[in-house]
Amino acid sequence: MAPDHPRGIHLDGWGANMSESEKITINLGAMDLGKIDLLVHEGMYGNRTDFIRTAIRSQIDKHGVEVQQSVARYAFLIGVLRYGRKDLERLKAKGKRVKLTVIGSLTLAGDVPADLAAQVIERVQVRGLFNASAAVKTALADRMH
C-alpha cells in the first residue's frame, strides 16, 4: 500500500463484499423481464436482483483484461480509501499533493475542511462511490474527472 494512502483497503478480487453500495435503476423491456422472471420461477436465481447482479459480474469478468489494463494505465487503487483531516494535514506539512484514483469507494471524512482538501488534493478520479461533504466536493469540482 502506498504510504499516502493511510486507510486504504485493497481488494484482491471482483465481487468482494463491500459495506457500501449504491442503488441503480434500470428499465427493461417486457420480453427481457419475462425471461428473467421465467429463470427466477425455474429456481435458477432467487429473484430478479440476483439475476441482474450475476449478469453484471459476468460482464465485468468477461472484460477483466480491459479492466486490468485500465487499472494499470491509470494507477487506480482498487478498494476502499479514506482520508481524514489529520491525514491531509500530514501531507500538507510535508508539502505533498495527491492524485486520488480509486475504483471502489473514496471517503473524505466529515472533519476535512474544503480549503485543506483544495490545498492537498490535486486530482480526484473515482469509479464507484465518492463520499465527501458538499463543500469539499464543490472545492474539488474542477479537479474531478
pTM for this prediction: 0.59
Specify the amino acid at residue 87.
D
Residue 104: Cβ within 10 Å count: 21
pLDDT 10s digits, 101-136? 999 999 999 999 999 999 999 999 999 999 999 999
Give the residue extent of every domain in the chain.
30-62, 67-143
pLDDT 10s digits, 36-78? 999 999 999 999 999 999 999 999 899 888 877 776 666 678 8
2 φ, ψ (degrees, to nearest 5): -65, 140
For residue 11, give the nearest of 76, 92, 62 by alpha carbon: 76
Rounded distance, CA 61 to CA 68, Å? 11
